[in-house]
Amino acid sequence: MRWFVEIGQTADHTRRHVVNDAVAIFHPPFLLSLMIFGWGAVIETFQRHGVEYHCAFRIVDEDRLRPFDIFQLGICILVSSIYSFMGYIILRGFMNQLYMSTVLGIALYVLIPVAFSLYYRVHHRSSFQSLRETLHAILCALFAREKPSFREVFLANTITSMAKVFSDSISAMFLLIHLLGVPHVDAIFGPKSYAGLIFTCLPFILRLFLSLRLGYSGKTIQYWNALKHLMTMSVTVLSSLKFLIDDEKTWLAQFFYPWVTLVSLNTIVSFVWDVKVDWRMTLTRWIPPRPILRSKIFTEEQRHGT
């Protein structure tokens, strides 16, 4: 395992490995904080144009998350990640405290999410309850034929954007547990495990079923969206096989050209879908603006009589 220092390594070489390990462990929360800042910016932009997401999610106005709350969450995660990253390097690289540095990393992945969940459950109960209800509705209606609600699709898109962050976070947790002395636990859900691959694909499977539900409801174009998610999962599987197969030459000989083909097709299909369907654009000019998101939110609001 590269996580343990080999006998005979120099101090500089050892510290370089420690820094590399720290980057591997702590890059998911860094990336998550950047994504949270992006979500806050999107919601701020929505509000400036009169689009309020809380209408579609049936969240009480005074209890909803505002851009300031989201930015505050991102800053807290970013600062906590920076301190944990620096503490890990100091404890393990300079003080040779393997267990203390590992416990610090585990605390970041366990205590901080729990603390923030409890905080937002108390201070933003309506937002927390809406999130839980929407996720429950998605999971319980995977094989249903009725049209999914706007908030189900919105939440599924958000979860899909975080697939890699979730997978890397869990892999880092198992690697940290391995550092505490549990043998081979990183092989269960590490970066080179089938469980990690399955977990990465789960959000895309979720979006696949939602697209099929939209297709069942009459929007047949959503079948193309389902095909897009299927190709994305295929690319993910072929990419992961490079790390799951010990012999890289075998992957190059058997999977390289199928991987290149699928990557090219997936890129083209995703680009065309985003431009033509999601953004309502052509390749040369804007189509006259249509407030699709706003109309969907207002329709959802009127449907529930809020």
Q: DSSP readout, 3-55?
A: TSPPTT--HHHHHHHHHHHHHHHHHHHHHHHHHHHHHHHHHHHHHHTT--HHH
Burial class (CB in 10 A: 0-12, 13-18, 19+), 143: exposed
Hey, what are 126's tokens? 């309506």
Instruction: Give residues with Cβ within 8 angstroms of 195, minimum separation 6.
Output: 188, 189
C-alpha distances out from residue 77 to 84, 132, 165, Å: 10, 21, 14
CA–CA distance, 185 with 177 (Å, rounded to integer): 7
Average pLDDT over residues 102-115: 83
At residue 49, does pLDDT exceed 50?
yes
Residue 11 has pLDDT above 80, yes or no: no
Of 19-23, 113-117, 143-147, 285-289, the one with minimum mean pLDDT is 285-289
Instruction: Decide if pLDDT at 78 tops 80.
Output: yes
Q: Where are the domains of the chain?
A: 1-140, 144-306
pLDDT-based confidence at residue 59 (cuts at 50, 70, 90): low
Which distant-in-sequence residues (6+ apart) come within 8 Å of 174 by Cβ? 185, 186, 188, 189, 190
With left for phi above 0 and alpha for psi between -120 and 50, is residue 62 left, alpha or beta? alpha
pLDDT digits (tens, 9 = 90+) for 125-136: 777 777 777 778
> pLDDT class for 53, splitting at 50, 70, 90?
low
Q: What is the mean pLDDT of the chain?
A: 76
Average pLDDT over residues 3-30: 66
For 3-14, b/e burial (b = at least 16 CB within 10 A) is beeeeeeeeeee
pLDDT surpasses 80 at 77 = yes
Helix, strand or coil for residue 97?
coil
Average pLDDT over residues 253-277: 86
* Residue bearing the bigger pLDDT, 245 or 281: 245
Residue-wise pLDDT for 185-226, tens only, equals 767 776 667 777 888 888 888 888 888 888 888 888 888 888
Cα–Cα distance measured from residue 199 to residue 181, given in angstroms and rounded to the nearest whole number: 24
Task: Give the pLDDT band (50/70/90) at residue 57.
Answer: low
Which amino acid is present at 249?
K
CA distance 199 to 159: 12
